[in-house]
Amino acid sequence: MNYQTIQVRFQESICYLRFYRPEANNTINNTLIEECMHVLALCEESVTIVVLEGLPEVFCLGADFQGMYEKMENEHEHAQNPEPLYDLWLKLATGPYITISHVRGKANAGGIGFIAASDIVIADQTAQFSLSELLFGLFPACVLPFLVRRIGFQKANYLTLMTQPIMVEQALTWGLVDAYDAQSDTVLRKHLLRLRRLSKTGILRYKRFMDELSDLRQYKSLALASNQEVFSDAQNLKGIFRYVETGQFPWMD
C-alpha cells in the first residue's frame, strides 16, 4: 500500500515503520496518525515486533503547526481532535507486539509520546529529547500519562517545565532510553535477534497483563480535555500562528 507520511516494510514477524515527512520535520498530522493505525491493524495477527524510526536527523517533532495554521486559516477549523493520537499511543503501549523506538536526532513534543509509549527505546549518540509546549502556553497533556509511566512524575515534570532538550546520556540515566551507541543499528539488530524468539501468544498475554497494571486509559479523558483547552485558547493560537509566519517565539517582541 502507498502511504503519504510513512514508509513500511515487513521482514518475517517484524514491521519497520518509518515516519517520513522530510518536508515537515516529521511532524504529526491526521494522515500520519491514520496511516500508523492502519499499519498496526495489519500487525495484530502475526507481527511480534514493531520498530518505529524517523529520519537520520529528526525522529519526530510533534504537532504540525504549519498544517494546523493552514487548516484554521483556510477552513476555519478548530484544532484537531487529540483522541486519535492518544489512541495510537495506547495501541503502541498495549498492542499484541513489542514496540521499539529507534531514535536518531531530535525528538520533541508529540515525538516524545511515541517514545514513551514504546516498550523499548534505542538511540544513537545524536538523539536529543525535549518538550517545548510551555513555550507556546501549551503543555503536553496527552504525552504525560505515557511519560510519567516511563520515567516518573518529577523527571517528566522537569522536562516539561524546562522546555530544553536533554541529550541521550541523560535520557539513558532517566530511563527514557534503554540502550544507545554510535552504531545504533547494531544495537537494534542485537535486540531483534533476542526478541524475535518470543512467541506471539506470550507477548499478547504479557502486554495484556501490563495494560492492566497501567493507568493510561484512566487518564485519557483528563488528557484529552486538557489538550483541547490549551489548543483552543486564542492567545496560544495567536502565538503559534505568529511562529509559523515569522519564526518568532511568543515571548519575542
Q: Would you say 103 and 123 are in contact if contact means Cβ atoms under 8 Å apart? A: yes
Q: Would you say 15 and 36 are in contact if contact means Cβ atoms under 8 Å apart? A: no
How far apart CA 127 and CA 135 sit, in angstroms, is 21
Surface-to-core class of residue 27, CB atoms within 10 Å of its CB (0-12 exposed, 13-18 middle, 19+ buried): buried
Whole-number Cα distances in Å, 172 to 102, 122, 156, 189, 240? 13, 10, 14, 19, 31
* C-alpha cell of residue 84: 486519535
Q: Which residues are catalytic?
A: 64, 133
List CB contacts of 69: < 8 A, sequence separation 6 or more.
240, 241, 244, 245
How far apart CA 63 and CA 67 sit, in angstroms, is 9
Would you state the pLDDT for residue 221?
96
Would you state the pLDDT for residue 130?
98
Would you state the pLDDT for residue 156?
98
Would you state the pLDDT for residue 124?
98
List, for residues 111-151, the tens digit of each pLDDT value.
999 999 999 999 999 999 999 999 999 999 999 999 999 99
Would you state the pLDDT for residue 68?
83
Residues in the chain where the model's pLDDT stays below 70? 73-79, 253
Q: Evaluate the CA torsion angle 127, 164, 28, 248 in order and state its sign.
A: negative
Would you state the pLDDT for residue 79?
62
Max CA distance (Å), the chain? 58
CA 244 to chain CA centroid, nearest Å: 22
How far apart CA 241 and CA 65 sit, in angstroms, is 8
Q: Would you say 54 and 26 are in contact if contact means Cβ atoms under 8 Å apart? A: yes
Relative to beta strand 14-19, strand 6-11 is antiparallel
